[in-house]
Amino acid sequence: MKHIDFSNSPRIDQVGVDDRIARITARSIKKEAKMQGLMMTLSMIDLTTLEGADTEDKVKQLCYKAHHLHDTIDGLPTTAAVCVYPNFVKLAVNELKGTDVKVAAVATAFPSGQSSLEVKLLDTKLAVDNGAHEVDMVISRGKFHSGEYNFVFDEIATIKEACSKDVRLKVILETGEIGSLDKVRQASDIAMFAGADFIKTSTGKISPAATLPVTLVMLEAIRDYYYETGIMIGMKPAGGISNAKLALQYLLMVKETLGGKWLNNQYFRFGASSLANDVLMQIAKQKSGIYQSQDYFSKV
């Protein structure tokens, strides 16, 4: 594998990051732009169920919701994807046949990443062979914290090779365990140079999960990588994004950091199932002038 000295990743100006976030969160969004942003947000969500108690019926209900949002409000898009464990991929693919909704599968000993490469490759192969369009892998945080950056790089590159040409690889950094913003930048660089199609903040199992400062640092890493290589890398903040107001702030940050080319579900996703219902409530409010009860929308 090609090895790069990742110890020289740019250092992060914490004060500068905090200032950018303060300016973004102070912005107000007008009605027409807000509706456009809400529709965009809905189309970028990866509906997710990753629990030990998952059943086939729960996965079927999640798939139904992903491409039947228009049953609640006319004119709504589908969500971008559903994300499940590898053993549910075949079921999800069958349920979503004929739709534009992708099936993503977590792999590589999700969420801990604590297993052998052999097991991680089998996990990935199960997802790909069953028809997954996307694989969400977790990095080996223990190796990262031990300074074994080439190990992390090689493992990502090997998993990428195990994905077929059309399967996109999202690399989860688990930023709540990575530590400082400098480390987030370093891990982002490793993932992108190793072949990630997306970089993703979190598994949703660790707190804190996605935050605006962490996502800004990752977006800036994507921008710099694009300037260096001309390759567009996707971004997925996951966990902790539960309301539409916060989601719109993320979209503002994407536009101001990367530009409009990234404002689509090919290059930006939200890993936040609970976000969908709040976005639906906000869209209903924009259309009717009144809030619907949360009970009006499916929680699955």
Edge-to-edge order in the sheet of strand 102-107: 46-48, 81-84, 102-107, 134-138, 168-172, 198-200, 234-236
Burial class (CB in 10 A: 0-12, 13-18, 19+), 31: exposed
Residue 142's CB: how many other CB atoms inside 10 A?
Answer: 14
Q: Is 200 a catalytic residue?
A: yes
Please classify residue 217 by burial: count the beta carbons closer than 10 Å to its beta carbon, then call 0-12 exposed, 13-18 middle and 19+ buried: buried
CA distance 169 to 35: 31
Helix (H) or strand (E) segment spanning residue 250: helix 244-257
* List of residues 6+ apart from 117 with CB closer than 8 A: 155, 158
Q: Is 219 helix (H, G, I), strand (E, B) or coil?
A: helix
Point out the catalytic residue in the list 46, 102, 120, 136: 136
Catalytic residue chosen out of the listed positions 65, 102, 183, 200 = 200
Q: Which positions ≥6 away from 295 have C-beta within 8 Å?
A: none
Selected catalytic residue, list 65, 120, 160, 236:
236
Q: Which residues are catalytic?
A: 136, 200, 236
